[in-house]
Structure 1
Amino acid sequence: MARRRTLRPEEEDLWQSVARTAQPLHPQKSPSLDQLRSPLPTESSQKAEQPEPIRTFRVGERAQTVLGHDLSPSISDSMTRAPLRMDAKAFAQMSRGKLSPEARIDLHGMTLAEAHPELIRFVLNAQSQGLRLVLVITGKGKRMEDSGPIPQRVGVLKHSVPQWLRLPPLAPAILQVAEAHLKHGGSGAYYVYLRRSR
């Protein structure tokens, strides 16, 4: 990148003579030489926007946090957007609670380390027995105070079970997963529609 230098007096005279003979392409938009040489406006001449004053904070006072922020769609939303892979008539009956599950597992009170192998065992055994619709009860989770800047999910099992059902070794055995009807547990349970065992 070339360094800029100031013009010597003879170069300045030459530049002025050339500039007087030049015709501007856009006369109304081209600034004059005086405008180009004018100093930059100072801070006092500019109208600076005053920032909003910061509210005083006392030691021991709680910070105000925005509640209800969620960065990803809810489990219900992601399940309703999932493509339908089972018979539409059977799915409609299942969603309205008209089909009763042939087996159920309740994961209430289990840790993630306990619940994951239990779920795998339950689903694979149900498929090997020729069952088609099973119910997985996770519970809705306890709502706790969310005082941190990062949103906290309610119900660890409620959010982990659908992910486990999409991963091996369970994914090949499952045709559809949907939130249960109210009479079977509502948002605290999932219908798992299994593929036929081969």
Structure 2
Amino acid sequence: MTEGRKLRPEERILWGKVAKSTRALRARQDEVAEYEAEITAMLAAEEAALARPAPPQDVVSPPGNQLRAPRPAPSHQPLEKPVHRKLAKGRLSIEARIDLHGLFQDEAHDLLLDFLFRAHERGMRHVLVITGKGSSMGSEGVLRRTVPLWFSKPEFRFLISSYEWAARHHGGEGALYVRLSRPRRSL
């Protein structure tokens, strides 16, 4: 199947209405139900893995060679209220922004990682990540759900200090204020 043009917003809304009014053929209803069950199980497993802390790992160093135990991966704290308020009111500038509307998950993941990495290298502290609310076509918003999950993955973890849903005029629950960690200086 060839890749066609992207749908305009009004076409996407119309397609969502058409898609809601259809149902699978009887022969395929079992396949659809099985697929939906797999997706639900995968999402539940991801959320459970994020909810429970990783078991502590004991590091045994050989005698005579004193090695430090590896530092635990930082967990992201919510943005402090004064900082969130300053960002919302414009007293603290948003140094860069990225809009992930209409992208597939793998495209959005790569683009977001590259964006955050470049912003981190440039010493930026506060950026806006726009995921969209995903309310068209009756979905909950795949990117809105998965972007915060990505932030806990190792490739994103060292870049981000904290994040919080944006103020309404910056996108509300369809956007995130992200505070980047300070770049480490090599000695």
Normalising by structure 1, report the TM-score: 0.50
For residues 103-130 of structure 1, the C-alpha deviation after alignment (integer angstroms, 9 at most, x for no partner) is: 0111011000110000100001100000
- Which residue of the partner structure matches residue 94 of structure 1? 87
Match of 2:170 among 172, 184, 188: 184
In the alignment of these two chains, the number of paired residues is 111
Match of 2:103 among 104, 107, 110: 110
- Which residue of the partner structure matches residue 131 of structure 1? 124
Unaligned runs of 5+ in 1: 1-71, 73-81, 146-152
Structure possessing the higher radius of gyration over alpha carbons: 1
Distance 1:107 1:184, change over 3 A: same
Task: Tell me, in whole angstroms, the C-alpha distance in 2 between the residues paired with 1:183 and 1:144.
Answer: 23
- Report the CA distance between 1:154 and its aligned residue: 0.6
- Which residue of the partner structure matches residue 194 of structure 1? 180
Task: Tell me, in whole angstroms, the C-alpha distance in 2 between the residues paired with 1:120 and 1:108.
Answer: 16
Match of 1:161 among 131, 147, 164: 147
- Report the CA distance between 1:166 and its aligned residue: 1.5
Amino acid at match of 1:123: L
Distance 1:88 1:144, change over 3 A: closer
Summarize the alignment of residues 51-66 of structure 1 with structure 2, pairs less than 5 Å apart.
Answer: none
RMSD: 2.4
SS in structure 2 at match of 1:114 = helix
Task: Tell me, in whole angstroms, the C-alpha distance in 2 between the residues paired with 1:110 and 1:164.
Answer: 15
Distance 1:85 1:185, change over 3 A: closer
Unaligned runs of 5+ in 2: 1-43, 45-74
Task: Tell me, in whole angstroms, the C-alpha distance in 2 between the residues paired with 1:176 and 1:84.
Answer: 5
Normalising by structure 2, report the TM-score: 0.53
Q: How many percent identity over aligned positions?
A: 42
